[in-house]
Structure 1
Amino acid sequence: MIKAGIVGATGYAGAELARLLSQHPQAELAAASSVSFTGQRLSEIYPAYYQLCDIVCGTQEEAVEKSDVVFAALPHGLSQELAAECFEQGKAFIDLGADFRLKNEEDYQKWYNGTFAHPELHGQAAYGLPELFRDEIRGKKIVANPGCFTTAVPLALAPALAGGFIEYKGIVADCKTGVTGAGRGLTQNTHFAELNESCSAYKVASHRHNPEMEQSLRRISGKDVTVTFVPHLLPVNRGILATCYARLKDGATPDEVRAAYEKKYAGEYFIRLLPEGKAADIRNVRLSNFCDISLHFDPHDSMLIAISAIDNMVKGAAGQAVQNMNLLFGLDEKTGLTAISPAF
């Protein structure tokens, strides 16, 4: 059994990790840490876990000591020293935060106001989006787990970009997210009275995920891809719906674009390319690690509209982290992650 530890276990992503790891047939939750709730059982904070996941929250040091793999579900800026400690002790480290996602330190300074404390570790960290960068992840000790938008958008566009079917400039990612993406801390726009019966854009043209998704799309295409990214907050708990608009190049046809998606994602268990005429819906991926993708074509202005839907807490956070753990330890990627969404 793989012994797993969670640092930051009482936030939404940490708690979701605990839920998934508690059901994993080849891993066990060996330790959990929380600064705010040290000494309390996880089931005291989340009563749904009562008698199912009653682990007591200890210290960060205990989580590292007791584990083969450490998951960090922490705000940006707090993972680098922990990663160094794990690396020194030969433990695998999977970071659900942003500290290892950006390859360029200048980008990290600009968007997160931080520096690379251990540049040598950043050079060894893999970007953990398995469907696009699987070979890079195997054999690594540090994995940067992508965020929710930065999973949904690249998966929606990758085959079209890799095949050269769409223009590299002028791509628009219009995304909707559930409120859990804002974290457990309360802010004014996540109050029920503010959020209910509302849908609003936020951080327009200034969201930290923008450079990360462009980084992935540039790697996929080898071109200088730019994306206009506009996120919106939905009055739902879970889900990311990414509606991506890109202009088709002259001569590109819907049939060959769809064939490229079918080829790229053939054999990818967690990618479901929907039949023509169907549209991706967050309801159909809730509580699962699946990414549903639907393709639409507007002949009026030669646009590809690629829509992806994921659960932001699973494929966009904890589920993908477990998928990466499975890869690191030589397990089938879908181990512990085969749950399907409720039908209603």
Structure 2
Amino acid sequence: MDVAIVGGSGYGGVELIRFLYHHPHVDQIKVVSHSKANERFSDIYPHMKDHVDLTMESMSVEAISQYVDVVFFATPANVSSKWMPELIKSGVKCIDLSGDFRLKDQEVYEEWYGYDAADAETLKEAVYGLTEENREAVKQAQLIANPGCYPTATLLGLMPAVHHKLIDLNSIIIDGKTGASGAGRSLSQNVHYSEMNENTKAYKLGAHKHIPEIEQWLSKTASEEVTVQFTPHIVPMTRGIMTTIYGNLSTDYSQQKMNDLYQDYYKNDPFVKVYTNNHYPQTKEVYGSNYCAIAVHVDERTNKLTVISVIDNLVKGASGQAIQNFNIMHGFDEKTGLELLPIFP
């Protein structure tokens, strides 16, 4: 298969290329970059020389629809929504790593993202690509809205408890921590070395655009409106996300029963690991991989559940999950091209 990556010069794009380069069902890879058109990819990423040494192209729906089977959008918000309707009409399958198609309510998108929402018809076609939860819908999709990084870690951490009605939905508090690569490759004072190094800071309290995405899927799962308290932090590391999730248990439940429930829930999901025996996952344990590692703690004294969920924000939180969905869309084993072990230390 031939694929195109729109926005290929950013961190999400280069991670897509790292995995797709080794994918047995991918032949040609085109890279589209508005800001870097006609430049050599290896001039931007010299470590790719002799592997992916191509010239980046400008965007053309006609050229893409004629020569590729699948398009990955690794672009900022408010880009893919402009190109997607034409691509969908041309029959090309699309996987969008931005947030343009994650929120089904156009008004909610415009409130949280500050841009005009995608057109209603294309938005209706988009399938939310939280793979482990929406696998059957992904199989039939032409347009995938790949989840955000924080929502991926958070929702995978919460789903077993929510599905089994073990947690008070009005009590959910999410403490999120991310590495600097989550801010993208563009220059920003927020991730300037002098301000990042030996420093940890909270940001966008009550205003992070992943909040409505988390609430949308929780509400769909629970069949009632759910709101959460989410506080993101940026920490001095390159990759990784850790979400520590708290909630009141709605019933008495032992530690062993909770461990068993989580392990059983994800027993058929190859990229979710559930840790027991008092081992709590670290971001280093999923570094560079498509795995999500989870551990749960039942505090019988306070009757609260704590869930620790970690992912690599650029892989399971973005490009890896996109390729996992690509595999499912085309009937491949979902592990294809993704079975790289984490890098440690």
Specify the TM-score bucket, using the shorter chain as the normaliser: over 0.9
Query: 2:119 aligns to what?
Result: 118
The match for 1:163 is 164
Aligned-partner Cα distance in 2 for 1:174–1:116: 28
Aligned to 2:177, the other structure's residue is in SS state strand
Code of the residue aligned with 1:215 in structure 2: it is Q
After superposition, the C-alpha distances for 1:292-340 in whole angstroms (9 at most, x for unaligned) are 0011122221111101110000000001111111111111111000001
Give the letter aligned to residue 206 of structure 2.
Answer: A
Match of 1:16, SS state, is: helix
Q: How far off is 1:64 after superposition?
A: 4.2
Cα deviation code 1:5-27 (max 9, x no counterpart): 00000011111111111111111
Q: TM-score, normalised by structure 2?
A: 0.97
How many Å apart are 1:176 and its aligned residue?
0.5
Deviations along 1:270-297, one digit per CA (max 9) or x if unpaired, are 0000122000110010110000001112
> Which secondary structure does the structure 2 equivalent of 1:174 belong to?
strand
Q: Which runs of 5+ in 1 are unaligned?
A: none
**Cα displacement (A) at 1:60:** 1.6
Instruction: Specify the alignment match of 1:16 in structure 2.
Output: 15
* SS at structure 1 position matched to 2:27: strand
Q: Is the 8 A contact 1:6 1:63 kept in 2?
A: no
Give the share of equivalent positions with the same residue, in percent.
Answer: 39
What CA RMSD, in Å, does the superposition of the two structures yield over aligned residues? 1.2
Which residue is 2:6 aligned to?
Answer: 7
Q: Deviations over 1:240-278 (max 9, x none)?
A: 001000111132333332222122101110000012200
Against the structure 1 CA distance between its residues 219 and 29, is the aligned structure 2 distance closer, same or farther, given a 3 Å change threshold?
A: farther
| Superposition pairs of residues 36-185 of structure 1, within 5 angstroms | 36-61=35-60, 62-185=63-186
Question: Is contact 2:290–2:315 with CA below 8 Å preserved after alignment?
Answer: yes
Cα displacement (A) at 1:187: 1.0
Corresponding pairs, count:
343
Q: Kindly indicate whether the alpha-carbon contact (under 8 Å) linking 1:39 and 1:57 is maintained by their aligned counterparts in 2.
A: yes
Q: Report the equivalent of 1:326.
A: 327
What pairs with 1:250-269 in structure 2 (closer than 5 Å)?
250-269=251-270
* Corresponding residue SS for 1:318: helix
- Looking at structure 1, the residues matched to 260 and 317 of structure 2 have their Cα atoms a distance apart, in angstroms, of 26
Q: Secondary structure at the match of 2:242?
A: strand
Contact (CA 8 Å) 1:297, 1:305: kept in 2 or not? Answer: yes
Say which SS state the counterpart of residue 215 (structure 1) adopts: helix
Q: Does the CA contact (< 8 Å) of 2:72 and 2:95 recur in 1?
A: yes
**TM-score, normalised with respect to structure 1:** 0.97
Could you tell me which residue of structure 2 aligns to residue 192 of structure 1?
193
Q: Residue in 2 aligned with 1:284?
A: 285
**Alpha-carbon distance change, 116 to 193 in structure 1, aligned in 2, over 3 angstroms:** closer
Q: Is the 8 A contact 1:17 1:318 kept in 2?
A: yes
Q: Which runs of no fewer than 5 residues in structure 2 stay unpaired?
A: none
Q: Give the deviation of 1:78 after TM superposition.
A: 1.0
Structure 1 stretches of 4+ with a deviation exceeding 6 A read: none
Map 1:200-219 to 2 at 5 A.
200-219=201-220
Kindly indicate whether the alpha-carbon contact (under 8 Å) linking 1:145 and 1:321 is maintained by their aligned counterparts in 2.
Answer: yes
| Structure-2 separation of matches of 1:212 and 1:225 | 11
Provide, for residues 120-166 of structure 1, a one-character-per-residue CA deviation record: whole Å limited to 9, x for no partner.
11111100011011111111110000110010000001000110111
Whether the 8 Å contact between 1:276 and 1:295 is mirrored in structure 2 is no
The 8 Å contact of residues 254 and 300 in structure 2, kept in 1 or not, is answered as no
Instruction: Give the SS at the match of 1:100.
Output: coil
**Shift in Å, 1:168:** 0.5
Q: Secondary structure at the match of 2:2?
A: strand
Name the stretch that deviates more: 26-35 or 66-75.
26-35
Q: Secondary structure at the match of 1:165?
A: coil
- Greater shift, 207-216 or 117-126, is seen at 117-126
Match of residue 222 from structure 1? 223
